[in-house]
């Protein structure tokens, strides 16, 4: 409970004694590149295979002659858009970006770079963390859109190349009974997940004490806690928005 | 001048600083010395506001730092420069950006003016043509010099140095100590330096406060430290065989 309280105090501290807008703008752009652009490759690879595997496994389970082939694509779409693209990508991003944020801030803490900022009168939590959270909340939804698109494309390649279903059946399955709210739901989830990953990782890194070993521990802890928070938020959002 | 009155601080029930008072005059190098774990760095962090003491007050030329509101504190921080043990240079910025950082944040100067200022202070600390290098590409001594340049780039009134010669060879240590002393005299700033290096103490100690077990045990200067008659301090000074031999000659 003490940690949760400290986490909320930490979040609150970012909004007092802020620096000029221009200094945040440049930092946020840099973080957008670091968090978003530099994650495209890993997101592309994981999501393409995720879609391909989903299609193959769905086809494996739907063996009844009463079920038409396009249903495989329909199930793939629902799984990818509702769950796999936002949530599995969040787990991947927690591993890549979360650990990077925690270890970066942890190193700054133990090498007194954060103290140096404080001595200069800079609100270090606001200056270092706020741009990361804003950048994550901007870039992660874009990554989820890319992940969703590539996962469906991966499903298409796997489905058509292995003869599970034809191109026409796949495209028909993707389009039939499409509920646009699922996209909104995925984007809402992505913004919440981005906030959780960036803020929890930053919190873990910002309050690192000790040396290099503790930086590693902070990084591990950031990934573990971010993943738990993402899964918990995933359930809460599903209850709130889908029921 | 910086005045500290009755500073006390404890962590998890352990008393680290116990009722410490003292005055650090402008224009001289003030040293806080003592063995490892006596609370020197904690005292320095209390003075610069990185740690809030449980009791006591810190006065910057009569202005209470602890009682100041956010605006006053921000203004006072603009007058502070600090050199950290490892230099604390920002890894992601090159040397020029590191030194320019306080100017970027705290002034409205134009880019050309800032660059002139940066080159001036880098040249003042004896560094030239390293503007575009990254902190990882320079030596420990150069990092300390860049740290000093960053600390003095903004018009400061107070300079704090936390073990500025830790990890440096004796010759480079001496150069860094002399540089800090020269800058102190030249800019007429109030300098407080934490150290346990006896070369520094004897070389630049114009005012020395000795701490032991969280208490101020002695104060004086490098002229009278060897003949203080204070048992704790003498144990600290004459800890090595060389110094023990020297003691016999005194």
Contacts of residue B78 in chain A, CB cutoff 8 Å? 120-121
From residue B214, give the alpha-carbon distance in Å to each of A6, B37, B124, B210.
29, 9, 36, 10
Cβ contact A119–B82 (<8 Å):
yes
Best residue in B44, B105, B147 to probe A by mutation, most A CBs within 10 Å?
A: B105
Nearest CA in chain B to A128: B90
pLDDT: which is higher, B243 or A194: A194
Report the C-alpha gap between B97 and B114 in whole angstroms: 10
Query: Cβ neighbours of residue A213 under 8 Å, at least 6 residues apart?
Result: none
Q: Across the strands, what pairs with B24?
A: B2
Helical (H) or strand (E) element with B118: helix B111-124
- Contact between B143 and B151 under an 8 Å Cβ cutoff? The reply is no
Cβ contact B105–A23 (<8 Å):
yes
pLDDT: which is higher, B245 or A128: A128
Residue B93: alpha-carbon gap to chain centroid: 23
Q: Which two tokens stand for residue B65?
A: 């730092």
pLDDT of residue A63: 75
**A121 CA to chain B: closest CA distance, Å?**
5
Query: How far does chain B reach from its first CA to its final CA, in angstroms?
Result: 34
How many CA atoms does the CB half-sphere of A187 hold within 13 Å? 10
Report the C-alpha gap between B213 and B217 in whole angstroms: 9
Instruction: Look at residues B3, B18, B57 and name the one whose alpha carbon lies nearest to residue B214.
Output: B18
Write the DSSP symbol of residue B49: T
- Phi, psi (rounded to 5 degrees) for B229: 80, 5
Of all residues in chain B, the percent with pLDDT exceeding 90 is 53
Contacts of residue A16 in chain B, CB cutoff 8 Å? 70
**A16 CA to chain B: closest CA distance, Å?**
10
* Chain B residues interacting with chain A (CB cutoff of 8 angstroms): 45, 48-50, 70, 73-74, 77-78, 80, 82, 84-86, 88-91, 101-102, 104-106, 160
Instruction: Look at residues B90, B97, B94, B81 and name the one whose alpha carbon lies nearest to residue B154.
Output: B81
By three-state DSSP, how is residue B68 classified? coil
Instruction: Look at residues B6, B13, B16, B55 and name the one whose alpha carbon lies nearest to residue B211.
Output: B16
Q: Across the strands, what pairs with B218?
A: B210
Report the C-alpha gap between B21 and B40 in whole angstroms: 13
Q: Is A209 among the domain residues?
A: yes
Query: Cβ neighbours of residue A212 under 8 Å, at least 6 residues apart?
Result: A110
Cβ contact A115–B104 (<8 Å):
no
Q: Which two tokens stand for residue B54?
A: 């449980």
Cβ contact B91–A115 (<8 Å):
no
- Phi, psi (rounded to 5 degrees) for A165: -155, 165
Q: What is the pTM of this model?
A: 0.86
Worst-scoring range by mean pLDDT, A17-31, B84-98, B102-116?
A17-31
Rounded average pLDDT over B48-74: 89
Q: Is A189 among the domain residues?
A: yes
Contacts of residue B91 in chain A, CB cutoff 8 Å? 107-108, 111, 113
Cβ contact A121–B86 (<8 Å):
no
Residue B112: alpha-carbon gap to chain centroid: 30
Q: How would you classify residue A85: left for phi > 0, otherwise alpha for psi between -120 and 50, otherwise beta?
A: alpha
pLDDT of residue A198: 96
Beta strand pairing status for B215-220 and B207-212? antiparallel
By three-state DSSP, how is residue A144 classified? helix
Q: Is A109 among the domain residues?
A: yes
Cβ contact A113–B48 (<8 Å):
no
Q: Please calculate the CA angle B66-B48-B50 and round it to the nearest 5 degrees.
A: 85
Q: Which two tokens stand for residue A68?
A: 């038409």
pLDDT (tens, 9 = 90+) of chain A, 243 residues, equals: 778 899 889 888 888 767 777 778 989 999 999 999 999 999 999 999 999 999 999 999 887 788 888 999 999 999 999 999 999 999 999 999 999 999 999 999 999 999 999 888 888 999 999 999 999 999 999 999 999 999 999 999 999 998 888 999 999 999 999 899 999 999 999 999 999 999 999 999 999 998 899 999 999 999 999 999 999 999 999 999 987
Report the C-alpha gap between A142 and A152 in whole angstroms: 16
Contacts of residue B160 in chain A, CB cutoff 8 Å? 119
What does the DSSP assignment read for B162-197? ESTTTTS-HHHHHHHHHHHHHHHHHHT-EEEEEE--
Helical (H) or strand (E) element with B75: helix B70-78
pLDDT of residue B110: 92
Cβ contact A121–B88 (<8 Å):
no
Q: Please calculate the CA angle B229-B233-B236 and round it to the nearest 5 degrees.
A: 135
Q: How would you classify residue A232: left for phi > 0, otherwise alpha for psi between -120 and 50, otherwise beta?
A: alpha
Contacts of residue A108 in chain B, CB cutoff 8 Å? 90-91
Rounded average pLDDT over B43-55: 92
Query: Cβ neighbours of residue A3 under 8 Å, at least 6 residues apart?
Result: none
List the domain boundaries for chain B.
Answer: 2-79+157-249, 92-155
Report the C-alpha gap between A175 and A71 in whole angstroms: 11
Contacts of residue B45 in chain A, CB cutoff 8 Å? 115
* Sheet architecture: strand order including B207-212: B80-83, B158-162, B190-195, B29-33, B207-212, B215-220
Write the DSSP symbol of residue A82: I
Report the C-alpha gap between A66 and A62 in whole angstroms: 9
Per the prediction, chain B carries an average pLDDT of 89
What range does the domain containing A120 cover? 21-242
Q: Is A147 among the domain residues?
A: yes
Q: Is A11 among the domain residues?
A: no
Out of A16, A112, A122, whose CB is closest to B88?
A112
Contacts of residue B70 in chain A, CB cutoff 8 Å? 16-17
- Contact between A195 and A139 under an 8 Å Cβ cutoff? The reply is no
Q: Which two tokens stand for residue B14?
A: 């352990």
Out of A17, A19, A115, whose CB is closest to B88?
A115
Q: What is the number of domains present in chain A?
A: 1
Confidence of residue B242 (pLDDT cuts 50, 70, 90): confident
Other C-beta atoms closer than 10 Å to the C-beta of A236 total 11
What ipTM is given for this predicted complex?
Answer: 0.85
pLDDT of residue B250: 66
The CATH number assigned to the domain with range B2-79+157-249 reads: 3.40.50.300
């Amino acid at each position: 409970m003490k940690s949760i309280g400290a986490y909320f105090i930490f979040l609150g501290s970012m909004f007092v004694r802020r620096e000029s807008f221009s200094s945040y703008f440049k930092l946020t752009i840099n973080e957008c590149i670091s968090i978003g652009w530099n994650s495209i490759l890993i997101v592309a690879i994981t999501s393409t295979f995720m879609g391909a595997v989903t299609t193959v496994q769905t086809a494996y389970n739907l063996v009844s002659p009463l079920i038409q082939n396009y249903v495989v694509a329909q199930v793939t779409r629902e799984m990818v858009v509702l769950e796999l693209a936002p949530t599995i990508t969040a787990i991947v991003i927690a591993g890549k970006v979360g650990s990077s944020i925690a270890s970066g801030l942890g190193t700054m803490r133990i090498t007194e770079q954060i103290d140096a900022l404080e001595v200069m009168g800079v609100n270090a939590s606001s200056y270092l963390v706020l741009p990361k959270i804003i950048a994550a909340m901007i870039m992660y939804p874009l990554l989820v859109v890319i992940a969703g698109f590539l996962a469906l494309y991966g499903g298409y390649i796997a489905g058509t190349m292995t003869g599970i279903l034809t191109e026409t059946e796949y495209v028909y399955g993707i389009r039939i009974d499409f509920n646009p709210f699922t996209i909104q739901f995925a984007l809402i989830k992505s913004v919440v997940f981005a906030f959780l990953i960036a803020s929890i990782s930053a919190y873990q890194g910002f309050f690192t004490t000790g040396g290099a070993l503790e930086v590693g521990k902070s990084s591990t802890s950031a990934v573990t806690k971010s993943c738990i928070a993402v899964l918990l938020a995933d359930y809460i959002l599903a209850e709130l928005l889908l029921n | 001048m910086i005045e500290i009155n009755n500073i006390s601080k404890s962590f998890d029930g352990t008393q680290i600083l116990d009722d410490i008072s003292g005055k650090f005059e402008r224009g001289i190098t003030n040293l806080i010395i003592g063995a490892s774990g006596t609370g020197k760095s904690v005292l320095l962090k209390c003075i610069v506001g990185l740690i809030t003491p449980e009791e006591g007050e810190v006065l910057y030329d009569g202005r209470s730092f602890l009682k100041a509101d956010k605006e006053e504190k921000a203004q006072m921080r603009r007058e502070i420069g600090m050199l950290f043990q490892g230099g604390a240079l920002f890894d992601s910025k090159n040397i020029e950006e590191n030194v320019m950082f306080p100017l970027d944040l705290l002034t409205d100067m134009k880019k050309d003016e800032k660059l002139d200022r940066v080159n001036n202070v880098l040249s003042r600390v004896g560094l030239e043509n390293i503007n575009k290098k990254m902190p990882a590409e320079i030596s420990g001594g150069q990092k300390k010099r860049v740290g000093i340049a960053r600390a003095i780039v903004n018009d400061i009134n107070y300079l704090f140095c936390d073990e500025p010669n830790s990890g440096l060879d004796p010759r480079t240590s001496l150069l860094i100590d002399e540089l800090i002393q020269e800058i102190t005299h030249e800019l007429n700033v109030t300098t407080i330096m934490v150290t346990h290096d006896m070369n520094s103490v004897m070389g630049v100690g114009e005012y020395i406060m000795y701490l032991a077990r969280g208490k101020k045990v002695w104060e004086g200067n490098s002229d009278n430290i060897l003949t203080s008659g204070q048992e704790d301090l003498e144990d600290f000074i004459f800890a090595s065989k060389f110094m023990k031999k020297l003691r016999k000659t005194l």
